[in-house]
Homo-oligomer: A and B are copies of this chain.
Amino acid sequence: MRKRATAKQVAEAAGVSKWTVIRAFTPGASITEESKRKVLETAAALNYTPNLLARSLATNTTGQVAVFVDDFANPQKLPFLESLTEKLQAAGLVVMLININNHFDHVNALLHADQRQVDAIILFGTAFRDETLTDLQLGNGMPPMFVLARDSQIEGVPAVVCDAELALREIVDHLHAKGYKRPGFMSGAAALSTALRRRQHFAEFWAEKGVTDIALLFAEKYSAPAGAASIRRYLSETAAQDRVDVLMCENDILAIGAMDEIRGKFGLRVPEDIAIVGFDNYELGGSFAYGLTTYEQPRNEMVDVVLKMIKGKIEPETITLPGRLIVRRSA
């Protein structure tokens, strides 16, 4: 489509061989200051920059990392994407953002990323089914894969996640200390392993406090309207005296949706009638309107770890990082 200056053209203009031009652009190559200066000058004049495409073909490494995302409803994705792009770019990598929704077949997306020769694939909070990956004969030519902010049960695909056990223990301890006695849990998508883990730990630690009856609510997806619909169903079907006194939602966006419904449609108070806890520490959850008690994922640290694995600086293995309980008014 466009025409760019090539190393060969620069070489001719500068009166050297094209390999000298290459060397001028290769850090640490053996070349005289004189030659280098001359090359760089004419290169600037001709508007020449190395063609990274050709370089990738020759070196068999592209510096591109595919980031798969399948759910754009959770605003939490945005700061993660910011951290990902910033840190990867600082490491000389660039993010290929790939939307994996229902319209776009997962296997095709993986093959496509592979065809583009990406250096790595990050499954960022996606609802990938394990079979999708195992079908592809991992390790057999596919780029290294990593799961970010979700569990992975797949052999050879390490995950980097917030420590769910620690998180739920702190949350339950806090709720118990506050005197709540009738807990409930709202899941966003029961099929996901992460969902089950958080819910399991929630139940497990309440059981340690002697509370075994946990109300279970389900939202169709991770969005405010889905959270609202879920709590609406629950409140409509449950008599006032049977209701939970505290509801933990699997993430902040569900919690916000639930809170709005509780206060707006049912005229109940948070936390007096029902206390609410979220997960993620989405910025607006901390606003005056919500004052949401939540748990912060160590975003930057998680991205750092994934980056190190991609760069081969640490062994690729599943790692859990501690987050931080954020107590506000809602619980």
**A-side interface residues toward B, CB under 8 Å?**
1-5, 47, 49-54, 56-57, 60-62, 64, 67, 69, 72-73, 75, 77-79, 81-82, 85-86, 89-90, 94-99, 101, 103-104, 111-112, 114-117, 119, 137, 140-143, 224, 256-257, 259-261, 263-265, 283-284, 287-290
Contact = CB atoms under 8 A, between A and B. Distances in A.
Given A53-B62, A57-B54, A289-B259, A86 B103 contact: yes
B47 A140 contact: yes
Contacts of A90: 103-104
A117 B284 contact: no
B141 A3 contact: yes
Given A287-B224, A289-B289, A1 B119 contact: yes
A262 to B, nearest CB: 9
Closest 3 CB pairs of A and B: A264-B288, A85-B99, A72-B82
Contact of A94 (B60, B116, B142, B261): B116
Given A60-B1, A86-B103, A288-B264, A141 B47 contact: yes
Nearest to A99: B85
Nearest to A94: B96
Contacts of A111: 49
B284 A2 contact: no
Given A53-B117, A140-B47, A99 B78 contact: no
A108 to B, nearest CB: 10
A316 to B, nearest CB: 14
A300 B298 CA distance: 33
Contact of A49 (B61, B115, B256): B115
A97 B114 contact: no
Nearest to A1: B61
20 contacts: A1-B60, A2-B141, A2-B143, A3-B141, A4-B141, A47-B141, A51-B115, A52-B117, A53-B117, A67-B97, A69-B85, A72-B82, A75-B75, A85-B97, A89-B98, A224-B283, A260-B288, A261-B288, A264-B288, A265-B288
Contacts of A141: 2-5, 47
A97 to B, nearest CB: 4
Contacts of A103: 86, 90
A290 B142 CA distance: 47
Contacts of A5: 141
A82 B112 CA distance: 18
A52 B1 contact: no
Contact of A99 (B82, B143, B290): B82
B81 A72 contact: yes
Contacts of A3: 141
Nearest to A62: B53
Contacts of A94: 96, 98, 112, 116
A112 to B, nearest CB: 8
Nearest to A143: B2
